[in-house]
Amino acid sequence: MNEYDFLNLNDKEFEALSIDLIAKLKCQRIERFKPGKDDGVDGRYFATPNQEVVIQCKHWARSGLDALIRSLIKTEAAKVNKLAPSRYLFVTSLELSRQNKQRISNIFAPHIKSESDIFGKEDLNNLLSEYKEIEERHYKLWLSSTNILRIIVNAAVIGRSLFKVDEIKEFAPKYVMTKGYEQALDKLESMHAIIITGEPGIGKTTLADRLCLKYIIDGFQLCYIEDSITEAEKLFDKEKKQLFYFDDFLGRNYLLALGRHEDSHIINFIKRISKAKGKRFILTSRSAVLNQAKRLSDLFRVENVDKNEFEINIKELSGLEKANILYNHIWFSNLNDQYVDELYIDKRYKKIIRHKNYNPRLISFITDMHKIADINPKKYWDYIGNTLENPIEVWGQVFNNQLDDNSRILTCLVAFNGKNIREDKLKLSFINYAKRNLN
């Protein structure tokens, strides 16, 4: 049986898991309610038309039992007395002893009918071992599973692949399941190879990592490629289930990659993967780089590499998906409460979600406690507003280190134009700039 600590779940995810388990245990359809003040109700069902059963979930694994007990006495008991349900079920992610359950039962007397209506960490793990379909549905649980990690470690035979697995595992709690993931997974399953493209910071690597996690869990060996597709060819083993992952496969200098015939090697490897059982291939590239490579490579055009392409577009993220991304970053960022409170004043977080410059990398940046440690909490919202309007700190590294000189010049020409520019006009401007600098 796997033993989960539930630390990879945020409070809403823990609530959803708990409700799913109790619904299965009680064979009941349980109502849940929209986010906001819950007045002590995370879920409910009716044992009879007049007997309301209320469920409350408390994800206090990071705070500890003493803090939980204080909160129950100070705040929650009064809520439950006001509700006066016919029965009250209490769920927590903390370990509970027999004495702990007795104390919680006394706090909520007479609404808790039996100590078995109190579910602690051990109870939840027992239910998960019984209801495997719920365990599979809540994928973040896997990240702390001893058995799953053993599979990953045994599969990741290359040092950097093992390191990459650790990176994927570390970031995965912040990941939000979007419709884009399901679409990308369908393409990867049907074609065995996928090229994930999009603008910088849009989440290409995050999506690729999430796909990797799914296949690693399914027992695939991760082969993380850094320099050349030749590395993948050397590792190919027809007897093993293997996942090949080549992040930013054209790199900063696609001309160099094409000059060493990397395009033909990649096309041939994609063909090989598409015909092999138990093999998958994930590649990522910035859209601009891949489009330029397709213009320069006859093979990319002739072999119709577009059929393997999956482009991420920020416009395809729904408002709810953007909100969930922000919420997960806040929850797992270790932001002090003073900073978090600033986001909730007058529902300021909505301005972030609706901002024209919203971008997953930007969200990660403004919720990174290391980057804002020197900022007074009262100035935090001003910092967020300035960063959203002028994200120079976020994109400066990309501009200075991930673009070559010509790309930087083209970027400046487009930006200084201040609006859309035709390709022929941009080309002429670039030629004129080059002539001036040569003279």
> What pTM does this model have?
0.67
pLDDT at 150: 46
Tokens of 75: 């705040």
Which whole number is the average pLDDT over 358-369?
91
123, containing H or E segment: helix 121-130
**Among 11, 10, 66, which Cα is nearest to 42's?**
11
How far is the first Cα of the chain from the last one, in angstroms, to the nearest whole number?
A: 73
pLDDT tens readout for residues 414-434: 888 877 888 888 888 888 887
Beta strands 51-58; 43-48: pairing state: antiparallel
What is the helix, strand, coil percentage profile of the chain, to 5?
60, 10, 30
Which residue is associated with the tokens 């359809």?
29
Which whole number is the average pLDDT over 161-165?
76
User: 270: how many CB neighbours lie within 10 A of its CB?
Assistant: 21
pLDDT at 1: 62
Q: Are 391 and 357 in contact (CB under 8 A)?
A: yes
Identity at 224, one-letter amino acid code: Y
Identity at 107, one-letter amino acid code: I
pLDDT at 51: 92
Residue 172 is given by DSSP the state G
What is the per-residue DSSP string for 282-345?
EEEEEHHHHHHHHHH-HHHHHTTGGGGEEE--GGGS-HHHHHHHHHHHHHHTT--HHHHHHHHG
pLDDT tens readout for residues 205-245: 899 999 998 898 888 888 888 777 888 888 888 888 999 99
Half-sphere exposure of 16 (CA within 13 A, CB side): 14
Q: Are 54 and 40 in contact (CB under 8 A)?
A: yes
pLDDT at 211: 93
Q: Tell me how many helices (H) and strands (E) the chain has.
A: 24, 9
pLDDT tens readout for residues 25-43: 999 999 988 766 667 789 9
